[in-house]
Amino acid sequence: MLALTSVWTTVLLAAAVALGPLATDMYLPALPSMGVAMAAGTDQVQLTLSIYMAGFALAQLLCGPLADRFGRKPVMIAGFVLFAIASVGCALASNIETLILCRFLQAIGGSAGPVLGRAAIRDIYTPREAARIMALLASIMALAPALAPTLGGLMLNQLGWPSIFIALAGYAMVMTLIVAIGIPEPMAPENRQPLKLCSLIANYRTIGSDISFIGYTLTNALTFSGLFAFLSGSSFVLIEFLGVAPELFGLYFGFMVLGYISGNLTSVRLSKNLMPDQILLRGLVISVAGGSLMAALAMMEVFNVWAVVVPQAIVMIGVGMVLPQTMAGALANFPRMAGSASALFGFVQMAVAATIGAMVGYLHDGTSLVMAVIIAASAVAALAAYLLLVQRHPATGFEPAAEPGR
């Protein structure tokens, strides 16, 4: 097996964590076609995305404590197997109700990758090192959503939308073997927590009452919601409203992912000279600028592909800078409960994003306006959460303003 601190371990963890984004990004070009095939409305089809996020959020609350008790690897392997089975169910679904149910089950299995990937990084590295490693991991991981929509569009045209879910099932089984054979168990035996309801409640109460955890988590969730608003609305805006061919959707989506990768790499580079809070603030300001530009263009009825893609790429530069810092900051105070902290962090992130995604579908007016306004509002709310909470209550050992021994 590989050494825990090996670069290849980070690459394999990124591949495992990428299963979650793949399950959302790969089938985006197929959403309009799936609606036609199943005689379902836009709001029903977008519900397959929001229900995935809701299931993802709920499952993490159990996934984290299980991993704190039994270790990261067994829970991750079990999750991948469930994901593969549910993906086959999605491919075989003949109506929107069955697809929604299978997407929910897919989310329960898929939650294991991201929540345990974050926890594993916290197991292996210090809080400051974890921020840098998470940014590197996110850069590697971003290759998946950069390629996934293009691949999904090609598969849609050549093989039909069920083939996308069969491919996801295959990926999950490959990752099951890789995790089982290639990655050591990162959790130290002495850090294992008892799996008792009273202990579980006590752990979540401890984590949820930590003001710095709340600040980092809300900042992250609101930032991620802007990204998810784009994921939820982009295929309908670009394909249905602006006339982009499904097979070309991934190319425009990839432009946005390049912004995200740029933000990740910028975060890594700036970490040599700046503190995490300085990187966070810069990223949030960039996201607000990009979101505001998209909303302003939509309000002026400037409706074309680049009026959506370019501002979103700017938003994603900021997102790429913000997410790694907030992930590391949220887990910094909980080395012995990293699984539970990662689970609660992920629950809030996904619950807020699912709500925002449902709003995009419910309020969609056939143009880019609703999506653009929600992206801008999410970025402004994230900046407010940072200024009101994170700046005043930084995590111990992560930000210089934290009081020693807190």
| Rounded average pLDDT per 10-residue block, the chain, 406 residues | 67 78 84 84 82 84 79 87 95 91 92 76 73 68 71 88 94 89 76 73 89 95 91 85 84 84 87 86 96 97 94 95 88 79 84 85 87 96 96 75 38
* Nearest by Cα to 35 from 230, 239, 225: 239
Cα 143 from Cα 101, distance rounded (Å): 28
The angle subtended at Cα 358 by Cα 41 and Cα 250, nearest 5°, is 75
The pLDDT, as a whole number, for residue 145 is: 65
Instruction: Give the burial class of 68: count Cβ atoms within 10 A of its Cβ; 0-12 exposed, 13-18 middle, 19 or more buried.
Output: buried
The pLDDT, as a whole number, for residue 404 is: 37
Extract the tokens encoding 104: 């929910």
Specify the DSSP element, H or E, that contains 10.
Answer: helix 7-17
Cα 327 from Cα 348, distance rounded (Å): 12
What does residue 373 show for φ and ψ, rounded to 5 degrees? -65, -40
The pLDDT, as a whole number, for residue 305 is: 94
Cα 362 from Cα 364, distance rounded (Å): 6
Extract the tokens encoding 150: 């293009």
Extract the tokens encoding 145: 């959503």
End-to-end CA distance of the chain: 37
User: Which residues, other chains included, contact 215 with Cβ-Cβ below 8 Å and sequence gap of 6+?
Assistant: 385, 386, 388, 389, 390, 392, 393
CATH number of 7-390: 1.20.1250.20
Model pTM score: 0.73
Determine contact, residues 178/103, Cβ cutoff 8 Å: no
The pLDDT, as a whole number, for residue 336 is: 76
Cα 281 from Cα 138, distance rounded (Å): 19
Tokens 């940072």, located at residue: 386
